[in-house]
Amino acid sequence: MDKRGYFSGFGGCFIPEILTQTFEELVQAYEAAKADPGFWQEYLDVMSTYSCRPTPLTFAGNLTNHFGGARIYIKREDLNHTGAHKANNVMGQGLLVKRMGKTRVIAETGAGQHGVATATMAARMGFDCTIYMGEEDVERQRPNVFWMERLGATVVSVRDGSRTLKDAINEAFRDWVSNMDTTHYVLGTACGPHPFPEMVAWFQSIIGTEARKQILEREGRLPRRVYACVGGGSNAMGLFSGFMDDPVELVGVEAGGKGLDSGLHAARLSSRDASIGVAQGYKTYFLQDGDGQMRDTHSISAGLDYVGVSPILAHLQAIGRARFEAATDAEVLEAVTLTMRKEGLIPALESSHAFAQAFKEAPTLAKDDIVIINQSGRGDKDIFTVADAFDDPAWKAFIQHKAEQYHA
């Protein structure tokens, strides 16, 4: 009986006995896939024909001029099928599910991006699909709920606990311990019990591998810093893994919510409010009280509104390889507005955290420095949240008009 999946003491595999066999099978399937070059080739084929890989690396000339510092590049994960990096992980796990011979997939989702991606994968590969989503997230990411259901998935609104991502994860585990013979749990981020953090990071490494190659082709040199938002940590792990062995600073940006002093945030690595704990099957920093009860978190973005964080990112912080910062809701709205107006890009509110931090730092860097921001997803799903934040009168009038039509 060995300990597995530890990174500087973070990670591990804290699962109930009923899942032991399932995890043994999963670890085996994952390790066999990693050892098989044919698997990665099949994965690349799917990602280049079904999704939009390689995704472009866009030079943001107007933002660069605006800040007058580092040259700003944007890695366009929003151009994946379903509009986020989540597709990378989902299609990879889908191929594994086929190899394992299972017929049903379940997933948690916060922003709904991982849920939509899983629903498309299930439709294409012929799996039954159930998605667990916190009630609060169902409310704030309603367009994605609509698409999941249209794609044939069952969406279960989770009313327990804080009604956000962590509660959806608990509920997915409760489903899994009943149905693991037929069902694979497509965990959406680089968290949870081993092998999920490592496996999800592996599928997402496609982001960093491409970005490194692209920047060398374009500029002939490496970036000074790379920025990614951090919910569970999968898009950050994806981008960072391309530059792990390079002299490149890795910057993860968490949800600062209403400010790190407000208690209303989801900053686990960049605030003093988190402490090490064990929950949801792994050991990492959690936002919890002195008794070990998880706290409510807050973020304007559903996808970053989570109590834990990837054990691999906790490790990168512990060894000084990555730096973690936080961006507030207000800074994020400012960043998304500026990015739309200057570049015509619509980053998701999650991704906009990375933009906000890069914007704080770009002016302080030299003109020949390069930074890469990971645009992990597109902002279309945030239409209601952004409209509310700006109190958009035309949009409100439209919704009222639409509601009247439904009443008629």
Partner 1 sequence: MLETTIRNKLAQKDILLMTHIVIGYPNLDTSFEVVRTMVEAGVDLMELQIPFSEPMADGSVILKANQDALATGITVDQCFDFAQQVARDYQIPFLFMTYYNILFKYGVEAFAERMAECGLCGAIVPDLPPEEADEYLAAMNRHGLAPIFIFAPNTGETRMRQIAAHGSGFIYCMARKGVTGLQTDFSQQLGGHLAHCRAATELPLALGFGVKDHDDVQFIKGKADIAVVGSEAIRVLDSQGVAAVGDLIRSLR
Ligand X SMILES: Cc1ncc(COP(=O)(O)O)c(C=O)c1O
Catalytic residues: 86, 108, 376
130 part of the interface to partner 1, by CB under 8 A: no
CB atoms within 10 A of CB 23: 18
**How many residues bind ligand X, per CB under 6 A?**
22
In 78-224, which ranges are continuous DSSP H helix? 86-100, 113-125, 135-140, 142-150, 165-179, 196-219
Question: Where does residue 360 rank: exposed (0-12), middle (13-18), buried (19+ CB within 10 A)?
Answer: middle
Q: Which two tokens stand for residue 86?
A: 């989540």
Residue selected from 56, 61, 68, 292 as contacting partner 1 according to rule CB under 8 A: 292
Residue window 154-173: x/- pattern of binding to partner 1, with contact defined by CB under 8 A: ------xx----x---x--x
110 part of the interface to ligand X, by CB under 6 A: yes
Q: Which residues of 301-333 are buried (b: 16+ CB within 10 A; e: fewer)?
A: bbbbbbbbbbbbbbbbbeeeebbbbbbbbebbb
Q: Which region among 19-27, 34-42, 110-118, 392-400 touches ligand X (by CB under 6 A)?
A: 110-118
Helix (H, G, I), strand (E, B), or coil: what is residue 166?
helix
Cβ–Cβ under 8 Å, residues 49 and 349:
no
Residue selected from 257, 303, 308, 311 as contacting ligand X according to rule CB under 6 A: 303
Q: Give the separation between CA 231 and CA 350, rounded to whole angstroms.
A: 8
Question: Where does residue 387 rank: exposed (0-12), middle (13-18), buried (19+ CB within 10 A)?
Answer: middle
Q: Which region among 146-154, 215-223, 345-353, 391-399 touches ligand X (by CB under 6 A)?
A: 345-353
Residue selected from 16, 38, 220, 247 as contacting partner 1 according to rule CB under 8 A: 16
**How many residues bind partner 1, per CB under 8 A?**
36
**119 to 138, contacts with ligand X by CB under 6 A?**
none
Q: Which region among 45-53, 233-241, 243-251, 270-278 touches ligand X (by CB under 6 A)?
A: 233-241
The DSSP secondary structure of 299-334, one letter per residue, reads -SSGGG--S---HHHHHHHHTTSEEEEEEEHHHHHH
* 84 interface partner picked from ligand X, partner 1, none, CB below 5 to 8 A per type: ligand X
Residue selected from 54, 94, 134, 233 as contacting ligand X according to rule CB under 6 A: 233
Residue selected from 64, 234, 297, 317 as contacting ligand X according to rule CB under 6 A: 234
Cβ–Cβ under 8 Å, residues 371 and 72:
yes
Residue selected from 180, 207, 302, 312 as contacting partner 1 according to rule CB under 8 A: 180
Closest of 220, 215, 222, 218 to residue 245, by C-alpha: 222
Closest of 137, 335, 329, 342 to residue 227, by C-alpha: 335
27 part of the interface to partner 1, by CB under 8 A: no
Q: Which residue has the tokens 């929003």?
A: 78
Q: Which region among 35-43, 90-98, 346-354, 387-395 touches ligand X (by CB under 6 A)?
A: 346-354
**42 to 71, contacts with ligand X by CB under 6 A?**
none
183 part of the interface to ligand X, by CB under 6 A: no
Residues that bind partner 1 (CB under 8 A): 1-4, 12-18, 20-21, 160-161, 166, 170, 173-174, 177-180, 275, 277-281, 286, 288, 290-294
